[in-house]
Amino acid sequence: MWVILTCLLSLAVWWDFKTHRIPNKLILLGMCLGSIFSILPNGVGWLNALLGWSVGLVVFMPFYLLRVLGAGDVKLLATVGAFVGYPAVLLVALFSCLAGGFLSILIALQQRQLMQMSRNLYQGLMVFCLQITSGGKTSQWSMVTTQRRLPYALAIALGTLYYAFMHGNFLSQ
């Protein structure tokens, strides 16, 4: 199972770097394979896979609505959720967010834009908080971003692999 998931994530990372998109065909293939693996003897079970997929979708949806992540990133986490189930998908999401933050800092340092990134983050969070307290509509919420975007499939892949290694699952299956 982990070999297949790693291959899917590798393809998603490749496509994300190449086009800044994750193809729906790859997501659909991943969901189908996750569903198949869920019913195998070592699988998480079909209900747990469905719950993992649903929670994976819901967890990253606010980031999509804030225009921080793309739809492909949200669907990719949901696909991972179909493989790992619930509550493991929550840990994968947490590890992915940590990896994304770390990668963003590395990129900002490499491009000597750490101060600009800090200002953008501060400004975006302030606008978000002001809109919440003043009753702003969700369509107005968006984080300040620069032209350079992190292919977030890499963060999801790193978060997933970190989860697998931390829980001893990667080498055992």
pLDDT at 157: 98
Could you report the per-residue pLDDT of 81-98, keeping only the tens digit for each? 999 999 999 999 999 999
- Using alpha carbons, select from 146, 162, 136 the residue that is nearest to residue 113: 146
What does pTM read for this prediction? 0.82
How many angstroms separate the CA atoms of 159 and 114, rounded? 23
Please state the three-class secondary structure of 78-146 as a single string. Answer: HHHHHHHCCCHHHHHHHHHHHHHHHHHHHHHHHCCCHHHHHHHHHHHHHHHHHHHHCCCCHHHCCCCCC
Enumerate residue ranges in the chain where pLDDT < 50.
139-141, 143-144
Could you report the per-residue pLDDT of 89-131, keeping only the tens digit for each? 999 999 999 999 899 888 878 778 778 777 877 777 787 777 7
How many angstroms separate the CA atoms of 133 and 99, rounded? 30
The phi-psi region of residue 85 (left if phi > 0; otherwise alpha if psi is between -120 and 50; otherwise beta) is left
